[in-house]
Chain A
Amino acid sequence: MKRVLPGFGLSLGCTIVYLSLLVLLPLSGLAFKSSSLDWSQLWAIASGERALASYRVTFGASLLAALINALFGLIVAWVLVRYRFPGKRLVDSLVDLPFALPTAVAGITLATLYAGNGWVGRHLEPLGIKVAFTPLGIVVALTFISLPFVVRTLQPVIEDIEPEIEEAAATLGASRLQTFMRVILPGVFPALLTGSTLAFSRAVGEYGSVIFIAGNMPLISEITPLLIISKLEQYDVVGATALAGVMLVISFALLLGVNALQWWAANRHHGKHAVSL
Chain B
Amino acid sequence: MSIQICGVGKKFGNFVALDNIELDIPTGELVALLGPSGCGKTTLLRIIAGMETADSGHVKFAGEEATHLHARERQVGFVFQHYALFRHMSVFENVAFGLRVKPRSERPPEAEIRRRVMDLLKLVQLDWLAERFPSQLSGGQRQRIALARALAVEPKVLLLDEPFGALDTKVRKELRRWLRRLHDEMHISSVFVTHDQEEALEVADRVVVMNQGRVEQIGTPDEVYSNPASPFVYQFLGNVNVFHSRLHGHWADVGRDVAGDGAAKTPADGEAMAFVRPHDIDIERGPVVGGLEATVQDVHAIGPLVRVELAHDSELIEVELTRERATVLELNKGQRVWLKPRQVKVFSVAEAALEEHGSGI
| A47 interfacial contact with B, CB 8 Å | no
Asked if A182 and B78 make an inter-chain contact with CB atoms under 8 angstroms apart, the answer reads no
| One of A168, A187, A270 near B133 (C-beta < 8 A) | A270
Please, which residues of chain B bring their CB within 8 A of the CB of A164? 80, 82, 84
**Which B residue's beta carbon lies closest to that of A190?**
B88
| B51 interfacial contact with A, CB 8 Å | yes
| B26 interfacial contact with A, CB 8 Å | no
**Assuming the A-B contacts A167-B84, A169-B97, A269-B88, are A174 and B136 also in contact, with contact meaning beta carbons closer than 8 angstroms in the complex?**
no
| One of A168, A174, A175, A276 near B137 (C-beta < 8 A) | A276
Asked if A165 and B86 make an inter-chain contact with CB atoms under 8 angstroms apart, the answer reads yes
**Which A residue's beta carbon lies closest to that of B73?**
A173
Please, which residues of chain B bring their CB within 8 A of the CB of A271? 131-133, 136
Q: Encode B268-295 as 1/0 by CB contact (under 8 A) with A.
A: 0000000000000000000000000000
**Assuming the A-B contacts A271-B133, A273-B132, are A173 and B84 also in contact, with contact meaning beta carbons closer than 8 angstroms in the complex?**
no
Asked if B71 and A171 make an inter-chain contact with CB atoms under 8 angstroms apart, the answer reads yes
| B153 interfacial contact with A, CB 8 Å | yes
Please, which residues of chain B bring their CB within 8 A of the CB of A269? 87-89, 133, 135
Please, which residues of chain B bring their CB within 8 A of the CB of A274? 136
| One of A168, A170, A275, A277 near B80 (C-beta < 8 A) | A168
| A162 interfacial contact with B, CB 8 Å | yes
How far, in Å, is B357 (CB) from chain A's closest CB? 32
How far, in Å, is A136 (CB) from chain B's closest CB? 37
| B115 interfacial contact with A, CB 8 Å | no
Please, which residues of chain A bring their CB within 8 A of the CB of B80? 164, 167-168
Asked if A171 and B86 make an inter-chain contact with CB atoms under 8 angstroms apart, the answer reads no
Bound CA span A174–B107, Å: 12
Asked if B138 and A174 make an inter-chain contact with CB atoms under 8 angstroms apart, the answer reads no
Please, which residues of chain B bring their CB within 8 A of the CB of A275? 135-136
How far, in Å, is B100 (CB) from chain A's closest CB? 8
| A218 interfacial contact with B, CB 8 Å | no
Q: Encode B132-158 as 1/0 by CB contact (under 8 A) with A.
A: 110111100000000001101100000
Counting chain B residues whose Cβ lies within 8 A of the other chain, the interface size class is 20 to 34
**Assuming the A-B contacts A182-B101, A269-B133, A270-B136, are A175 and B78 also in contact, with contact meaning beta carbons closer than 8 angstroms in the complex?**
no
Interface size counted on chain A using CB atoms at 8 A: 25
How far, in Å, is A34 (CB) from chain B's closest CB? 44
Asked if A168 and B87 make an inter-chain contact with CB atoms under 8 angstroms apart, the answer reads no
Among A168, A178, A182, A183, max chain B CB count under 10 A is at A168
How far, in Å, is B122 (CB) from chain A's closest CB? 19
How far, in Å, is A177 (CB) from chain B's closest CB? 10
**Assuming the A-B contacts A167-B78, A171-B78, A172-B97, are A186 and B88 also in contact, with contact meaning beta carbons closer than 8 angstroms in the complex?**
yes
Asked if B72 and A173 make an inter-chain contact with CB atoms under 8 angstroms apart, the answer reads yes
Asked if A174 and B84 make an inter-chain contact with CB atoms under 8 angstroms apart, the answer reads no
In the complex, chain B residues 176-197 whose Cβ is within 8 Å of any chain A Cβ: none
**Which A residue's beta carbon lies closest to that of B161?**
A164
How far, in Å, is B111 (CB) from chain A's closest CB? 21
In the complex, chain B residues 57-94 whose Cβ is within 8 Å of any chain A Cβ: 70-72, 74, 76-78, 80, 82, 84-89
Please, which residues of chain B bring their CB within 8 A of the CB of A173? 72, 98, 101-102, 153
| B204 interfacial contact with A, CB 8 Å | no
**Assuming the A-B contacts A164-B84, A186-B88, A269-B88, are A171 and B72 also in contact, with contact meaning beta carbons closer than 8 angstroms in the complex?**
yes
Bound CA span A173–B149, Å: 12
Bound CA span A182–B93, Å: 11
Bound CA span A175–B103, Å: 10
Q: List 7 contacting pairs A-B, 8 Å CB cutoff, sorted by A.
A: A165-B84, A170-B71, A172-B72, A175-B101, A182-B100, A271-B136, A273-B132
Other A-B pairs, 5, CB within 8 Å; known A171-B150, A183-B86: A164-B84, A171-B72, A171-B76, A186-B89, A269-B88
Residues of A in contact with B (beta carbons under 8 Å apart): 162, 164-165, 167-175, 178, 182-183, 186-187, 269-271, 273-277
